[in-house]
Amino acid sequence: MANQKEIENLVAKIVSEIVNKTEAEEKCECKCCCDEQIPDITAVRHQDDFHVPDAVNEPEYMRMKARTPARIGVWRAGTRLKTDTFLRFRADHAVAVDAVFTEVPEEFIKDMGMPSFRSQCHSKAEYLQRPDLGRLFDEETAAKIKSECKNKPTVQIIVSDGLSSTAVTANIETILPAIMQGLKVYGLEAGTPFFVRYARVGIMDQVTELLDADVTVNLIGERPGLATGESMSAYITYKGYVGMPEAGRTVISNIHKGGTPPVEAGAHIAELAKKMLDQKISGLGLQI
Amino acid sequence: MVLKTSLYGKTYEFKDVKEVLAKANEPKSGDVFQGIAAETALERVAAKVVLSHLTVGDLTENPAIPYESDFCTRVILDGLNTYYYNKFKNWTLGDLREYLIDWETAGNDIRIIASGFSSEVIAGLAKLMSNMDLACTSKKLIVTTRANTEVGRPEILPFRSQPNHPTDDIDGIMISVLEGIAYGCGDAMIGVNPVEDNVDNTSRIAYALYDFMEKWECPTQSSVLSHITTQMKAVEEGAPLSLFFQSIAGSEPALKAFGVTTEMLDEANDQIHHMGIAYGPNLMYFETGQGSEMSIDADCGVDEMTLEARTYGFGRRYAPFCVNNVSGFIGPETIYDGREALRAHLEDQFMGKMSGLPMGSGCAYTNHMHCDQNDLEIIDMLMCFVGTNYVAGLPLGDDVMLSYQDNSYHDNATMRLLTGRKPVVEFHQWMMKLGLMREDASLTKAAGDASFFLRN
């Protein structure tokens, strides 16, 4: 059996070998392990992604394929997917999964200078299974909101994670200042914007009642599709109340850099708030 | 009727049959959301014990929604075979379960006696079965139907092509159809869910599918999944459709919300027999799914699985060509994850076939469920193994219109190899004649190229 000293020497030798090897790799200047990067498979547009070898009529195939977002002309490995096709699909689903199941970091909310509250849900899993709890605050939180936020604001803005935390982190830094700027232009007084974790659309109605707001805006992450995690919606009500019909909400959806850009959406939301206050109505009855 | 038992010295008492049915369920998020789920694992078992002692008669005389107030209940109970009901009404569900799961009991015998079982009886039996119990009973139940071609035989595994498009662009739809056919998918039916529910659009899509079927002499069925009244008007104006489609549910308020009455479907069934392009005798297509009633606040306090059984009980009135669930399409508030979805699919297959329906499977999940393509592939493999009548297929499983994932054309082609089940006979012959498929249902080198059908 090896004695203690021998073991120590052996360990020291192995460690030194690993360190040297790492250093050697760091110093290496060959292309294979330094500059080269595997191309981003998600950068390829589906319309350009075509793998059928010796297609009978490729021009017509490509013409029709260009008419649909469906993943056509992907070919096959036997009857299964080719590796890149498989991994691309996984990446597109992963973006959606991350949007739903990751939390908006408290740090991010703090940096935005917003107070942060939580609906009656205690976890993401509960939030997903209990839409009813995501529409309500408990009494303690309700009292806190009332005491910490400006009461009787003309326009109250809340930010909700909804079904996409990615939508919040991707858009809020742009859309929030855009709305504030817009409200200022119209001379409308804004309340204290705050963040709500595990929130559904309807939670805005309790906010309206707690703070006695005229117009309430809920900026909320949309349910992601494949490859689209950043999309946000804005639900806006005039004098909303708990139990109000859905038709009473005005909605702007598809807010993200590939859809309605957040700056544009922000300006539009301020304009809608102004119209609601002038017409004293929101939802289906609002003349836009 | 005894609704009380003890487990480990603790007494459990239930107030009515409806509560027993709900609490006897395997865990599902929908039951929790409705506030009707068992509160503990032991309470769940207690409900199952009570259920196992209830008789066929108890469950039939105590429907989940009263006969007087619900036309869905009336259709189910009025349609029962009284000879077999009377013969079995004193059997307990526990004894009946043992009879059904016994491999010695022939599937055909079960199908005959099941004509006397109400939806609550069928749901109750499923609640007393493990996953493998459900599988080994379902596998014995063979329900064949015919429109243009015959489906349902155990050696046949057809697929519904679901070539949807976000704006109903005909070229976009047709390239998805052709891609599916190039993988052998579309022999159960080619069925398009349109975005715009109007007569012109329904006709436009119907003609596009018909033109393909005619030009290439493709032996299958077509369907456009707009509202039944829209399809009826389109066919009146001459649109060529093989099947009439409608989403159905298991309560009167839900059917009303879907814009459906018994008489309307009677009329539709009659019309498609006289004005459709398929021979029959089975010409209706229904889609269902656990959780649809609760998602529109029409569940009447009944659990989503019992409502699903009632949906099948309603559907059997119309002797449809095909029926598939899409349990998983609503989201995590009804079915949370892959485990719950798999259970729902096994239940639906069993309950559908017990109701005499040609039950297929629409395996689906939304992006906010705790589920992914691996879960879906497991469900697909299992359903094809236990003998589902058909499964859906889409380009890579990505429904670009309904925004959820489903099985892919690739999965379809693979399942034929894994199970040894082949396409519909005429479709198989046709694929072989074109040189796209071999006798053993494997794909030839030319398969997978949609432009095979775009040759100049």
- List pLDDT tens digits, range B72-83: 999 999 999 999
Say how many C-beta atoms besides its own lie within 10 A of residue A34's C-beta: 12
Radius of gyration of chain B measured on its C-alpha atoms:
21
Q: Return mean pLDDT, chain A.
A: 91
The torsion angles phi and psi of B263, rounded to 5 degrees, stand at -65, -40
Q: Which of A55, A71, A223 sits opposite B396 (nearest CB)?
A: A71
For residue A12, what pLDDT is reported?
62
Q: Which of B332, B398, B408 sits opposite A129 (nearest CB)?
A: B332
CB B60 within 8 A of CB B85: yes
CA proximity to A182, closest of A288, A273, A254, A112: A273
Q: Say yes or no: do domains B4-138 and B145-454 share a fold.
A: no
For residue A35, what pLDDT is reported?
72
In three-state form (DSSP H/G/I as H, E/B as E, the rest C), the secondary structure along B348-402 is HHHHHHHCCCCEEECCCECCCCECCHHHHHHHHHHHHHHCCCCEEEEHHHEECCC
SS3 label, residue B1: coil
| B342 compared with A16, residue with greater pLDDT | B342
Give the Cα separation of B441 and B414 in Å (integer).
10
Give the Cα separation of B448 and A55 in Å (integer).
9
CA proximity to A51, closest of A30, A76, A22, A29: A76
Chain A contact present for B333, CB below 8 A: yes
Provide the CATH number for the domain formed by B4-138 in this structure.
1.10.220.70
Chain A contact present for B368, CB below 8 A: yes
Chain A contact present for B448, CB below 8 A: yes
Fold of A106-285: Rossmann fold (3.40.50)
Chain B contact present for A128, CB below 8 A: yes
Instruction: State the smallest CA–CA distance between residue B177 and chain A in angstroms.
Output: 10
| A6 compared with A139, residue with greater pLDDT | A139
Question: Which residues of A fall within a CB distance of 8 Å from B366?
Answer: 223
Contact criterion met (CB < 8 Å) for B451 and A96: no
Instruction: State the smallest CA–CA distance between residue A155 and chain B in angstroms.
Output: 31
Q: Evaluate the CA torsion angle B250, B256, B262, B265 in order and state its sign.
A: negative
Q: Which of B172, B414, B442 sits opposite A67 (nearest CB)?
A: B172
Chain B contact present for A85, CB below 8 A: yes
Alpha helix (H) residue ranges in B80-167: 82-88, 93-101, 107-113, 119-127, 131-138
CB B119 within 8 A of CB B307: no
Q: Are strands B391-393 and B159-161 parallel, antiparallel or unpaired?
A: parallel
CB B24 within 8 A of CB B128: yes
pLDDT in tens, A203-262: 999 999 999 999 999 999 999 989 878 999 999 999 999 999 999 999 999 999 988 999
Q: Are strands A155-160 and A215-221 parallel, antiparallel or unpaired?
A: parallel
Task: Reply yes or no on domain B145-454 having CATH 3.40.50.300.
Answer: no
The torsion angles phi and psi of B366, rounded to 5 degrees, stand at -95, 165
Chain A contact present for B179, CB below 8 A: yes
For residue A11, what pLDDT is reported?
54
Domain ranges of chain B: 4-138, 145-454
In a 10 Å sphere around its CB, with 0-12 CB exposed, 13-18 middle and 19+ buried, how is residue A31 labelled? exposed
For residue A258, what pLDDT is reported?
85
Tens digit of each residue's pLDDT, chain B (456 residues): 999 999 999 999 999 999 999 999 999 999 999 999 999 999 999 999 999 999 999 999 999 999 999 999 999 999 999 999 999 999 999 999 999 999 999 999 999 999 999 999 999 999 999 999 999 999 999 999 999 999 999 999 999 999 999 999 999 999 999 999 999 999 999 999 999 999 999 999 999 999 999 999 999 999 999 999 999 999 999 999 999 999 999 999 999 999 999 999 999 999 999 999 999 999 999 999 999 999 999 999 999 999 999 999 999 999 999 999 998 899 999 999 999 999 999 999 999 999 999 999 999 999 999 999 999 999 999 999 999 999 999 999 999 988 899 999 999 999 999 999 999 999 999 999 999 999 999 999 999 999 999 997
Instruction: State the smallest CA–CA distance between residue A142 and chain B in angstroms.
Output: 23
**What tokens appear for B151 in the block?**
């489906």
